[in-house]
Amino acid sequence: MRTLVRGAGCCVTAAVVAVLSATVAAAVTVPFQVQPASFGNPHGSFDVPPTHCAAEVGGASGAVTIAGTLPDRWGCLIQSDVHWLNLSTGATGTARLSDGLNGHPPEATLPTGPGRVVAVLVPLPGTTTPGLVTVDVP
């Protein structure tokens, strides 16, 4: 009887470790700032809307998704370029956020591979400054 209790405790411990490992592997959202220029009003103004961008890692292995933090992934600037560099591997790339048409929020998935990644969001020329984010991609 005592052996069964130990065996059950071992299985419970293994189950708890499996649940914690799954929790750690969940997607992580890292918001970053894109300042309206030249006044730097984070709440936006008449000619520049407020921006709410984030990098999401952990959803897919070796990839970063840049999207908005508002409901349904809105809030990031449409048709912005995203330049990225994987500091661990030296890989680089560029992507463009979608145009937000037909109900699809502006987002881009960057195939960075695993490692520490730096991404710079460069909005269309004019009224905002670039945004910068660094993330660890699993």
Pick from 71, 36, 37: nearest CA to 54: 71
In 25-77, which residue ranges form alpha helices assigned H by DSSP? none
pTM (2 d.p.): 0.74
Tell me the pLDDT tens digit for each residue of 17-64. 333 333 345 789 999 988 776 565 666 666 666 788 999 999 899 999
Tell me the pLDDT tens digit for each residue of 64-122. 999 999 999 988 888 889 999 999 999 999 999 988 888 888 899 999 999 999 999 99
Q: How far is CA 133 from CA 14, 43, 66, in A?
A: 36, 20, 10
